[in-house]
Structure 1
Amino acid sequence: MSSSNHNTFSPRSVLEKEKLNGSNFLEWYRNPRIVLRQEKRDYVLEKVLPKKYRSNAPQSEKNAWDKHSNDVVDVTCLMLATMNSDLQKQYENVASPIEMITSLKAMFQEQARTERYQMVKSLVECKLPKDDPVSPHVIKMMGYIDNLGKLDCPISQELATDIILRVTVVELRSVHHEL
């Protein structure tokens, strides 16, 4: 990638795809982190804005604080802009992205846990129907594995292969024994 292409690359279009609506927190949260990492402002999701500098502080300290303060405002607004209107109203007076994320995680963690649980359950209970071809069964299992990754519960390629082989081989043996 040339330097001119690199400078014009902006993943912000990702943020327009899906607003936080109450049922998609994990997917939504991934997108601002990607954008902020590319913009080198992801630190505001973890680093609290320190107390304002003293009047006699060195200029470098003042500049660093001003940059951090501006980034907090920009990121807060970016996050609000990517929420549906009900959530915007609920969070419009929250002062920092850290507070917003902490609150959202608390609000949606049970929902995310339930969704992950259901996906894992579907994966491990996935059975190859008698007389059905193996390929659609494997594709279905791969879909469950991909969805777990989207739910911040990624399964390594090696483990995914082991799970698919184990379930598929067990099912094939079961079908073979019936014959």
Structure 2
Amino acid sequence: MSTPNDAYGSSSNNNNNFSLLNICLRVTFYSTNYNDWMRNIKMALRFEDKEYVLEKELHEIDDTKAIVVELAEYRKQYNDATKVACIMVATMTPEIQRFYEDYWPYEMNKDLVEKYHQRARQDKCEVVKSLITCKMKDGESVSSHAQRMQRYVERLLKINVNFDEELAIDIVFHSLPSCYDQFILTYHMNNQETILAQLQNLLRTAEAGMKGKSIASTPAAAPV
């Protein structure tokens, strides 16, 4: 028969578990946000002293041969691993849940790192390479070029890569031909602060101005 103190302790533990789950549910894992999801999981588990189950594999022991200390340690890890596994699976999309519902945290995290962390790293590398090597093509409008650059930046943001707006604009400037050097110089001299989407309008205006000068400088055809 439980004592009042036992009942109070059980209620307190349930409340703590519920609060822990609420914290973890703030970020749902949907394959491309592994780093953000795992960071949220680890911070919550660290507060509850349960983070170790992600790095320590649970090995079954023989109850008949284990000493009291070993048995107590195993039971604690078993209970912690069960709770953490439930929390991890509960914060996944249904499609991913079906695959990991029978995993222990150690095996689950190991498999997730191999599948999703490495994939996200590779995707980021490919997009960054495309972004920094992209150059405006001959005959291409500056608006089309800037839109292509913005799509690369949006892809990085989608895979949870924090990308500084000023850095994105500098990379766009670097991708432009030399005829835009004066525009870039004027932009920096005026200490303009803009976002990438607004930069497209400025570049479009600059492009129209350069075309206007080109037409004005073309000599008129001699009368027949």
TM-score with structure 1 setting the length: 0.60
SS state at 1:44 partner: helix
Contact 1:15 1:82 in 2 (8 A): yes
Superposed displacement of residue 50, structure 1: 2.5
Asked if structure 1 preserves the Cα contact closer than 8 Å seen for 2:28 and 2:92, the reply is: yes
In the alignment, the residues of structure 1 paired with residue 133 and residue 46 of structure 2 have an alpha-carbon distance, to the nearest angstrom, of 37
Among 104, 108, 111, the alignment partner of 2:112 is 104
Unaligned runs of at least 5 residues, structure 2? 1-15, 135-152, 175-179, 186-224
Quick check: 1:53–1:65 contact (8 Å CA) kept in 2?
no
Pick the aligned partner of 1:114 from 116, 122, 131.
122
RMSD between aligned residues:
4.3
Deviation, 1:69, is: 0.7
Asked whether the 8 Å contact 2:57–2:107 carries over to 1, the reply is no
Counterpart residue number, 2:72: 63
Q: Which has the higher contact order (CA 8 A, sep 6+)?
A: 1
TM-score (norm 2): 0.50
Which residue is equivalent to 1:17?
A: 26
From 69, 86, 90, the equivalent of 2:95 is 86
**Shift, 1:24, TM fit:** 1.4
Aligned residues: 150
Contact 1:76 1:97 in 2 (8 A): yes
User: Which residue of structure 2 lines up, in the alignment, with residue 42 of structure 1?
Assistant: 51
Q: Aligned partners of 2:71 and 2:83: how far apart in 1? A: 18
Question: 1:98 and 1:85 mapped to 2: Cα distance?
Answer: 20
Q: CA deviation at 1:73?
A: 0.8
Query: Quick check: 2:34–2:116 contact (8 Å CA) kept in 1?
Result: yes
- Alignment gaps of 5+ in structure 1: 1-7, 127-142, 155-159
Q: In terms of Rg, which structure is larger?
A: 2
Structure 1 Cα separation of the partners of residues 42 and 130 of structure 2: 29
Following TM superposition, where does structure 1 have runs of at least 4 consecutive aligned residues deviating by more than 6 angstroms? none
1:98 deviates by: 1.4
